[in-house]
Amino acid sequence: MDSSPCARKLRLAVLISGGGTNLQAMIDRCLAGSLNATIEVVVSDKSGAFGLKRAERAEIPAFHIDYKSCAQSALKKAENLVDLAELDRRQKILKISDPNRRLARLAGLVVAESEIIRAIDSFEPDYVCLAGFMRLLTPYFISHFNARGPGIINIHPALLPSFPGSHGYEDTFNYGCKWGGVSVHFVDRGEDTGPLIAQAVYPLWPGEDIEKIRSRGLALEYEVYSQVINWLAAGQVLIKEGTDGAPRIEIADPDYASILSAWVQKALSFS
Ligand code: GRF
């Protein structure tokens, strides 16, 4: 289902923090020729992330950016990069009430993000794909990659707008949901709030545990993420305006209904 006709392969930068099974699924599909993209560079905020090894094995340039060291004496460095007070007015991710602490934290993020930008800019990515990257991004980073339209996409392990944050599978399971889901969306300034591009659902059968749910969901994530990348490559992701003026996404793929139906069939047939 990942073989939409496309004008050209997209150049991707993939950001990870952990095991990188989504990254591996992308690498495998690139090799198999079913993903209309090339993974140009991988960046992790964790030095021990297994995803870095996956990238190295696939001979993809891979970098680690250490957020902790970037936070040291960040205020001065960040002021050379952005107007911090102005950035603070635009950001929606840090809720720290003490303004000095908030600015210091924001400065640390901006310095780390400037390092990521430095690591990936020379690869000229069409899109930055977040694949288990467990950091919130400031408007500094987002504006950089959104300059020519939405340029950052994220995979989230829940049916947004339910269960944003870092525990999508656990939250779905603990709530007692009968269906769970995965969502791919453009990244905006909020946490998991950007315009939805695609969603798929899976059942939670009685007696199943969280690990079962996670593996069923992850298998679906690989399908949905690669399909979204192929839609982007094919120019089939259209940005419209919703009734509230906010961006809404429409997929212009004649096979859209059969792709969604295949996802449902697949979710029902996972053991
Ligand atoms: C995935 O469930 C993804 O949706 C979430 O983090 C997890 C990353 O898994 N954001 P992996 O590193 O790709 O295996």
Q: Identify the three-state secondary structure at position 97.
A: coil
* Cα distance between residue 63 and residue 145, in whole Å: 18
Pocket probe for ligand 1: among 221, 223, 225, 228, the residue whose CB has the most ligand atoms within 8 Å is 221
Cα distances from 169 to residues 50, 103, 121, 161, 237, in angstroms, run: 21, 32, 33, 14, 27
H or E segment and range at residue 43: strand 37-44
Beta strands at 62-64 and 247-251: parallel, antiparallel or unpaired = unpaired
Residue 7: per-residue pLDDT: 59
Q: How far is the CA of 52 from the centre of ligand 1 (A)?
A: 14
Q: How far is the CA of 47 from the centre of ligand 1 (A)?
A: 17
H or E segment and range at residue 60: none
* Cα distance between residue 121 and residue 47, in whole Å: 20
* Cα distance between residue 51 and residue 53, in whole Å: 5
Helix 256-269 × helix 210-233 angle, to 10°: 160
Residue 5: per-residue pLDDT: 47
The residue whose CA has the least distance to atom 5 of ligand 1 is 132
The residue whose CA has the least distance to atom 8 of ligand 1 is 132
| pLDDT under 70: residue ranges of the chain | 1-7
Residue 3: per-residue pLDDT: 41
Which one from 64, 144, 156, 185 is the annotated catalytic residue?
Answer: 156
User: And the tokens for 171?
Assistant: 């939250």
Residue 73: per-residue pLDDT: 84
144 annotated active-site = no
Place of tokens 């009430």: 97
What the chain holds in terms of domains, given with CATH numbers, is 10-269 (3.40.50.170)
The string of pLDDT tens digits covering residues 229-257 is: 999 999 999 999 999 999 999 999 999 99
**Do the beta carbons of residue 107 and residue 113 sit within 8 Å?**
no
Alpha helices, DSSP H, located in 187-255: 210-233
Kindly report the pTM of this predicted structure: 0.94
The residue whose CA has the least distance to atom 1 of ligand 1 is 132
**Do the beta carbons of residue 51 and residue 29 sit within 8 Å?**
no
